[in-house]
Amino acid sequence: MVSDGRAGIDAGLVQRLVKAQFPQWSELSVSPVKVDGWDNRTYRLGESMTVRLPTAPAYAPAVDKENEWLPRLAPHLPVAVPEVLGKGAPGEGYAFNWSVRRWLDGATAQVDRLDDLPGFATSVAEFIRALQRCDATGGPMAAAHSFYRGAPPAHYDEETRRALVALEGRVDTAGATAVWDAALASSWDGPPTWFHGDIAHGNLLVADGKLSAVIDFGTSGVGDPACDLVIAWTMFAGDSREVFRRTVEQDAGTWARARGWALWKALIVLADVIDSDASNAATNQHVIEQVLADHAQAQ
C-alpha cells in the first residue's frame, strides 16, 4: 500500500494511476518537476502535461475546488493559470483525488531573474485586482479548505501569541503585538471577493523577465483579500513595494490585516527555526522588521 504522506508518492505511483485511469497517456514519460511544493507533489507527464497529487488529507479538497473554478476564472485573468485536463480518483493505494494539467512554461519568480522588479510588482498587483473583479457568486467561502486565508486573521490569534511569547527578547514583541492588535481591530466590510491565498514567488512564473502565469490556487476562495498583499514585505521593497501598493489599490484596513497575515507567518516560522536554521531565521526576521516599519509609517 502506498502511504498517504508525501514520501509515498513517486513516479511509479503516478505511472500506475495514469495507466489505470487515463490509458491514452499511459506511454508518456513521468518525471519529477525541478521545483516542487509541499502541499502537493507534481510530476511532468510527457512534454505538455503535469500530474498533481495532494500529500495529505488537508490538501485534498483543493483538487475539486481548482477543477471547478479555474476554468471559470481563467478567461478573466491577465496571465495564464493552470488548465485542468482531467481529474483522477483514488487508486493504486493512493487515497485522494488528483489532477492532470497542461504544462505551463516559465521559472519561479526569483528576484535575480527580474530586471524590472517594479514592473513585475505592477503585474502582480494587476493580477490581484483582476482576480478581485471576478464574479464571486457561489464561490467557496474562506474556511478550512483555504487554511482560513480570506477569513479574519483572528483565527490564528492563539498561535500568534504563543510565538510572541516564545520570541520575547529576540524580536520587538511589543511592536509586533501592536501590529497584530491593529490587524484584529480591522474587518473586511466589502462584498466577498476572490483571493488566491498564497501570492508568493514560488507560485508566480516568469518568462522573459515578466509575469507569465500564476499557479497553485489550493488556498484560494472567496472572502477578505488582505492575505494576497503579503508579498509586499516578502518579495518587494522600496520602489517595487510602493508601486505594488499604488496599483493594488487597497484601503488602510486591508493593509492592516495584510500586515497581520505577514506577521503571523513570519513569527511562527521564526519561533520554529530561530535556533536551528540561520538563513530561514534571518529571512523571517527581516519580514518582521519590514512589517513593523510599515506599520509605524502608517500611523
Assign residue 39 a region (left: φ > 0; alpha: ψ between -120 and 50; beta: otherwise): alpha
Strand segments, DSSP code E, in the chain are 30-32, 40-45, 49-54, 84-88, 98-102, 107-108, 193-195, 204-207, 210-214, 221-223
pLDDT greater than 90 at residue 113: no
Report the alpha-carbon distance of residue 196 to residue 180 in Å, rounded.
22
**Residues 261 and 183: beta-carbon distance below 8 Å:** yes
Which class in CATH covers the domain with range 108-298? alpha beta
Q: What is the pLDDT of residues 114-134, one digit of tens each?
A: 989 999 999 999 999 999 999
pLDDT band at 2 (very low <50, low <70, confident <90, very high): very low
pLDDT greater than 90 at residue 3: no
Q: What is the pLDDT of residues 42-95, one digit of tens each?
A: 999 999 999 999 999 999 999 999 999 999 999 999 999 999 999 999 999 999
Report the alpha-carbon distance of residue 147 to residue 47 in Å, rounded.
33
Percent of the chain with pLDDT over 70: 98
pLDDT band at 1 (very low <50, low <70, confident <90, very high): very low
Mean pLDDT over the full length of the chain: 95
Q: Across the chain, how many H-helices and E-strands are there?
A: 9, 10
**Residue 89 phi, psi dihedral angles, 5° rounding:** -115, 165
Fold annotation for 6-104? Phosphorylase Kinase; domain 1 (3.30.200)
**Beta bridge partners of residue 42, listed in sequence order:** 52
pLDDT band at 34 (very low <50, low <70, confident <90, very high): confident
Q: What is the pLDDT of residues 147-185, one digit of tens each?
A: 999 999 999 999 999 999 999 999 999 999 999 999 999
**Residues 46 and 29: beta-carbon distance below 8 Å:** yes
Domain boundaries, the chain: 6-104, 108-298
pLDDT greater than 80 at residue 286: yes
Asked if domains 6-104 and 108-298 share a fold, the reply is no
The cell numbers describing 294, all together, are: 510599515
What confidence score (pLDDT) does residue 224 get?
A: 98
What confidence score (pLDDT) does residue 201 get?
A: 95
Helix (H, G, I), strand (E, B) or coil at 212: strand
